[in-house]
Each structure stands twice: as structure tokens, then as C-alpha cells.
């Protein structure tokens, strides 16, 4: 068996037991990336030297008999909106094309402290705005299952990297579905933690009340390990929660008898592709067979989730992106003698940002403007509260909520990119968890007739990732979907 299709847990065992060295493992993944990345476009930056040095340090620690961390020698790919000291970090934007951060995101720091080996930075939608990874200044990423299709987004590069065996693990960020949706499109596990569970320090901000960092993996157990390593309060992020540190791996008992799973039937009934619906029904049957009880629930305000999300996230984005002004860091337009400060700002932002980012800055500025604030932004915040209450009521009756991750299987590159509204509707099932602050996970749960991956989503109460992961892991143990790998890319 090759090293490439092993899980993070197995690779760590290989390192600990001496079956493989961290350097050998790192070399195998770097070679895989070199082979498939020209086709796939999953990585923007690859740093073989840095990766091999980190791997050798793990091997040296083992040789010296030092304790090895829970991710010792396990390669990880990072979405390119996560800062890593000394490595170019672009958020897939021309405005940050030459930006090299002087510090590392806390979540990434914790992975490295646990022995992880960072391979490089993955492609994404510019500033994480999108659902297809086509809004990137560096070109699109292709779906490893069908090269003419989108890998989902915005963390499409990270999802494609894990699906194509370029990395056993990757990090993404999820503001409205950007981990779960590409997870579903690429047939891998994607986890968005509770808001505040993982520090956002060093994540380039998109919408600060919604953003969370989370893992991609090929198994629930691997995702649980990464979450355990990353989670916990951080003095550098005032919104990181003071929740007790939990060993999420310990929750994976395999037993879900008596767990109550809520199904929002009315919400799921409309506008969902038949292949997705039938995979969802089969998934519910499997969960029932494993001992869970299915309960019908209502999320009456979920139908407003898309407009609420796109008002809140654009408002926050317009404020967060004001910092890119050509003065402090990043791209600056070439200046002529007669240029004023104002033309410098205008041209820098005009040339540095792509179309979707500009659209959102304009929308956000509009909804926050004095004349429209009450009608749009304030109203959106009020409906956000109602949606959160819908979930609170549901979680009085059930432990976990299940729904499809996406309304459609992976769509074609170019199919939706010129129609923002169509693209936004892809997020109907994912944005609710961000608006409510609750955790969500997408798991592989089937394929379409032409072998495109389909995902199912589980959500849970705030800070109850443990129950969500237990159900997800039990489902995974009972099914084979997560074992499939795409065949379009030569091994
Ligand atoms: N697709 C959503 C958007 O375009 C979600 C993005 C995200 O989660 N970063 O905003």
C-alpha cells in the first residue's frame, strides 16, 4: 500500500513505530503534488524545503527519544488565507500577491507544535468569497473527481488536495459553508467548529462574526484529532471561547443508539437535486439502522438564511477589507507625479480586488449606510436571532440535525460564475450554522450516477462537537463512501 492513501492517524503510527520516516512521508506527498498540481491547481504555494526541514525535525525528535505529538510527521495543506510566518499568504487576491506575514495563525501554530508538517498553501476564492474556487486571482481549482467541475469553495484547493491524495489533512475556513460544501463536492470530511472554538488569530478576516477555521480529512477520526489540537482559548483572539479543552477522539465510541436526529423536512423539500435527495434518504435509513431516532423538526426561518447571510457577510466584509489601502501592506498601484492620495487608494483597490470582492464591498457599504441600515443590516440581525432561536428550539428535542450539505452535486466550472445569485443559492444548507454559531460537518454519503460525490451534513448544539462527531464516526464505520478515491488523476 502506498503512503498516499493512508490517514493522518496511520501516518503518525508509521512515524512513531519507525515503519516510515517523516521525511519519507513528506517526500511522497511532495512528489504527488508535483505530479497532479499542474492539472488540479489545488496549491498556490508549495515549500518543499520548509516541509522537509519540519519532517526531519520530527525524525530527529524521535531518534532522540523525545515525546511525539498527535500529528507527528503528518503532512497538512493550508488554505491560503491562513498566515504562516515567512510563507507568502495571498487569500487568492492580487492585492496580497506579495504579502509574507510576520506571524503564524494560532491554529497553525498548534498544528506545528503537535508535529504537523506544512506542505504549502492552497487555492481558494478571493478572501474566501465564493462557492467554486473560481474567484481566485490564480485561476480555478479543478474537482479531482471530474476535471471539468468545480471543487466547491471557497476552500476548494484544500478539499481537492485531500481528495487527490496530495495531503492527508488540510485546513480551511468556513464563513457560510466554505469547508463543508467543498468537502461534499470532493468526497472528503469537512468540519466547521462552533464559533469561538478555534482562534481566528492569523486568519485573514472576511466576516468576523461568522468565520471559523476547521479541518478537511478522509476520516472523522482525523478531523477530530485536528480539532482537539487546534481548539481552545487564545489571548490573541478575544472571541475565542473559554470552553474546556476536550479530547474529541474520545467521543468516537461507535455507539449512537438513542441519539435523536432532527430532520427539517419542509426546508429540505424544495429545490434539491434528486440524486442528493435520494442519497440523503438512504443516509437517514442507515442512521436509523444504527440505533438513532429520527425526529421531524421545523426551522421556520431557515428559508431566509441566504438573504440574511449575504447582508451580514457583505457588511462585515466591507469593513474588514477597508484595511487594504496600498499604504500598509500588499499591492499598491504604480504612482505618477500628479497622483493624489485618493487616486492612489482608488486605483490600488480597483486593480487589486477581483469582481466578486468589489461586489461585496459595494453591497456591504450600501447596507451599512445611514439611510438603509435599519431596512437591511438591522433587519438581517433580527432575523439572524430568529434563526438561532429555531435551532435552540430544535435542540431542546434533538441532539443532532441532519440535512444535505448542498442542494446539487458538483457543478461545471463556468456554470454559475457569471450568475452570483445562482452561486449564492448553493449555500442554502450551510449558512445557517454560521449564522447560529453552531458546529457542522459534511461527510461523504454517496455518488451520482456519473460518480460525482454527494455529502450529508450534521449540525449540533454550540460546543457539542463531541456528539456530532460521534454520530459522524458511527455513520462512517457503517459505510464505505469515504474509502473511494478519484481515478481521473494517475497515481
Ligand atoms: N459561499 C459562501 C460565500 O460566498 C461561503 C464562503 C465561506 O464560507 N467563506 O460567502
Catalytic residue among 92, 136, 154, 318: 154
Is residue 225's pLDDT more than 80?
Answer: yes
Is residue 366's pLDDT more than 60?
Answer: yes
Cβ–ligand 1 contact at 318 (below 6 Å): no
Segment among 83-92, 330-339, 395-404 with least mean pLDDT? 330-339
Closest CA to 400 of 253, 288, 482: 288
Ligand 1 atom, smallest distance to 360 CA: 10
Is residue 48's pLDDT more than 60?
Answer: yes
pLDDT, residue 485, reads 92
pLDDT, residue 490, reads 65
CA of 209 to the centre of ligand 1 (A): 13
Cβ–ligand 1 contact at 316 (below 6 Å): no
Ligand 1 atom, smallest distance to 177 CA: 8
Helical spans, DSSP H, in 46-123 = 48-63, 106-113
| Backbone φ and ψ of 430, nearest 5° | -100, -35
CA of 176 to the centre of ligand 1 (A): 5
pLDDT, residue 222, reads 98
| Adjacent-strand bridge partners of 454 | 446
| Adjacent-strand bridge partners of 46 | 120
Cβ–ligand 1 contact at 212 (below 6 Å): no
Q: What is the mean pLDDT of the chain?
A: 97
Burial environment of residue 83 by CB neighbours within 10 A (0 to 12, 13 to 18, 19 or more): buried
Closest CA to 471 of 453, 459, 485: 459
481 neighbors 445 (Cβ within 8 angstroms): yes
Q: What is the pLDDT of residues 434-477, one digit of tens each?
A: 999 999 999 999 999 999 999 999 999 999 999 999 999 999 99
Rounded to whole angstroms, the Cα distance separating 87 from 37 reads 19
How crowded is residue 332: how many other Cβ atoms within 10 Å of its Cβ?
A: 18
Is residue 260's pLDDT more than 60?
Answer: yes
Which letter does DSSP use for residue 341 in this model? H
CA of 71 to the centre of ligand 1 (A): 28
pLDDT, residue 101, reads 97
Reading the block at residue 190, the C-alpha cell is 469537512
Active site residue 164: no
Those residues with Cβ within 8 angstroms of residue 375's Cβ, 6 or more apart along the chain or in another chain: none
419 neighbors 448 (Cβ within 8 angstroms): no
Cβ–ligand 1 contact at 314 (below 6 Å): no
Is residue 1's pLDDT more than 70?
Answer: no
pLDDT, residue 491, reads 59
Ligand 1 atom, smallest distance to 131 CA: 1
Active site residue 318: no
pLDDT, residue 329, reads 86
Percent of the chain with pLDDT over 70: 99
Mean pLDDT in residue range 125-138: 98
Q: Helix count (H) and strand count (E) of the chain?
A: 16, 11
Is residue 214's pLDDT more than 80?
Answer: yes
pLDDT, residue 24, reads 98
Cβ–ligand 1 contact at 177 (below 6 Å): yes
Ligand 1 atom, smallest distance to 206 CA: 9
**What SS3 class is residue 20?**
coil
Rounded to whole angstroms, the Cα distance separating 294 from 287 reads 8
pLDDT, residue 270, reads 86
Is residue 26's pLDDT more than 70?
Answer: yes
* Residue 403 pLDDT class (50, 70, 90 cuts): very high
Cβ–ligand 1 contact at 129 (below 6 Å): yes
Closest CA to 99 of 116, 110, 109, 86: 86
Strands (E), 175-278: 189-192, 212-217, 260-263
Cβ–ligand 1 contact at 22 (below 6 Å): no
| Adjacent-strand bridge partners of 295 | 262
Ligand 1 atom, smallest distance to 313 CA: 10
Is residue 114's pLDDT more than 70?
Answer: yes
Active site residue 2: no
pLDDT, residue 160, reads 98
Rounded to whole angstroms, the Cα distance separating 199 from 249 reads 20
Catalytic residue among 136, 178, 199, 442: 178
221 neighbors 6 (Cβ within 8 angstroms): no
Cβ–ligand 1 contact at 174 (below 6 Å): yes
Instruction: Please tell me the residue having the least CA distance from ligand 1 atom 10.
Output: 129
Catalytic residue among 79, 121, 192, 416: 79
Q: What is the pLDDT of residues 304-327, one digit of tens each?
A: 999 999 999 999 999 999 999 999
pLDDT, residue 59, reads 98
pLDDT, residue 236, reads 98
CA of 13 to the centre of ligand 1 (A): 35
Indicate the length of the chain as a whole number. Answer: 491
Mean pLDDT in residue range 189-197: 98
Cβ–ligand 1 contact at 311 (below 6 Å): no
Rounded to whole angstroms, the Cα distance separating 183 from 155 reads 9
Percent of the chain with pLDDT over 90: 97
132 neighbors 417 (Cβ within 8 angstroms): yes
Helical spans, DSSP H, in 260-325 = 265-269, 274-289, 305-320
Mean pLDDT in residue range 121-144: 98
Amino acid at each position: 500500500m502506498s503512503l498516499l492513501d493512508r490517514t493522518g492517524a496511520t501516518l503518525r503510527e508509521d512515524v512513531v513505530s519507525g515503519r516510515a520516516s517523516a521525511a519519507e512521508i513528506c517526500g511522497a506527498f511532495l512528489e504527488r503534488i508535483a505530479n497532479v498540481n499542474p492539472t488540479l491547481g489545488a496549491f498556490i504555494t508549495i515549500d518543499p524545503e520548509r516541509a522537509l526541514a519540519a519532517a526531519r525535525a520530527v525524525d530527529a525528535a524521535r531518534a532522540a527519544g523525545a515525546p511525539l505529538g498527535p500529528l507527528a510527521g503528518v503532512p497538512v495543506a493550508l488554505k491560503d488565507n491562513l498566515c504562516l510566518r515567512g510563507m507568502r499568504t495571498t487569500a487568492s487576491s492580487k492585492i496580497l500577491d506579495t504579502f509574507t506575514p510576520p506571524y503564524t495563525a494560532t491554529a497553525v501554530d498548534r498544528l506545528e507544535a503537535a508535529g504537523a508538517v506544512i506542505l504549502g498553501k492552497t487555492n481558494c476564492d478571493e478572501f474566501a468569497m465564493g462557492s467554486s474556487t473560481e474567484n481566485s486571482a490564480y485561476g480555478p481549482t479543478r474537482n479531482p473527481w471530474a476535471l471539468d467541475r468545480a471543487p466547491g469553495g471557497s476552500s476548494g484547493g484544500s478539499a481537492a488536495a485531500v481528495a487527490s491524495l496530495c495531503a492527508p489533512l488540510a485546513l480551511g475556513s468556513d464563513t457560510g459553508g466554505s469547508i463543508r460544501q467543498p468537502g461534499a463536492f470532493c468526497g472528503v470530511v469537512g468540519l466547521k467548529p462552533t464559533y469561538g472554538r478555534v482562534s481566528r488569530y492569523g486568519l485573514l478576516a472576511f466576516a468576523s462574526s461568522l468565520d471559523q477555521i476547521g479541518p478537511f480529512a478522509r476520516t472523522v477520526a482525523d478531523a477530530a484529532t485536528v480539532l482537539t489540537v487546534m481548539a481552545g482559548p487564545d489571548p490573541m483572539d478575544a472571541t475565542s471561547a473559554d470552553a474546556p479543552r476536550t479530547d474529541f477522539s474520545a467521543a468516537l465510541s461507535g455507539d449512537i443508539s438513542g441519539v435523536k436526529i432532527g430532520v427539517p423536512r419542509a426546508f429540505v423539500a424544495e429545490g434539491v437535486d434528486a440524486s442528493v435527495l435520494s442519497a440523503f434518504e438512504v443516509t437517514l435509513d442507515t442512521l436509523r439502522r444504527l440505533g438513532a431516532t429520527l425526529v421531524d423538526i421545523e426551522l421556520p426561518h431557515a428559508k431566509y438564511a441566504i438573504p440574511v447571510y449575504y447582508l451580514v457577510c457583505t457588511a462585515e466584509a466591507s469593513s474588514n477589507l477597508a484595511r487594504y489601502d496600498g499604504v500598509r501592506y500588499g499591492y499598491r498601484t504604480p504612482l505618477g507625479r500628479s497622483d493624489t492620495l485618493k487616486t492612489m487608494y482608488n486605483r490600488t483597490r480597483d486593480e487589486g480586488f477581483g469582481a466578486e470582492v468589489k461586489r461585496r464591498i459595494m453591497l456591504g457599504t450600501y447596507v451599512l449606510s445611514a439611510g438603509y441600515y435599519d431596512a437591511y443590516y438591522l433587519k438581517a440581525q433580527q432575523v439572524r436571532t430568529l434563526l438561532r432561536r429555531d435551532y435552540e428550539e430544535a435542540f431542546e428535542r434533538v441532539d443532532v440535525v441532519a440535512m444535505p450539505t448542498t442542494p446539487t452535486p458538483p457543478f461545471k466550472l463556468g456554470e454559475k460564475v457569471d450568475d452570483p445569485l445562482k452561486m449564492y443559492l448553493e449555500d442554502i444548507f450551510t449558512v445557517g450554522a454560521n449564522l447560529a454559531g453552531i458546529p457542522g460537518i459534511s461527510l461523504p454519503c454517496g455518488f451520482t450516477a456519473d460518480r460525482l460525490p454527494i455529502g450529508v451534513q450534521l449540525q449540533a448544539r454550540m460546543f457539542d462537537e463531541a456528539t456530532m462527531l460521534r454520530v459522524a464516526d458511527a455513520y462512517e464505520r457503517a459505510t464505505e463512501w469515504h474509502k473511494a478515491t478519484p481515478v481521473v488523476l494517475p497515481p
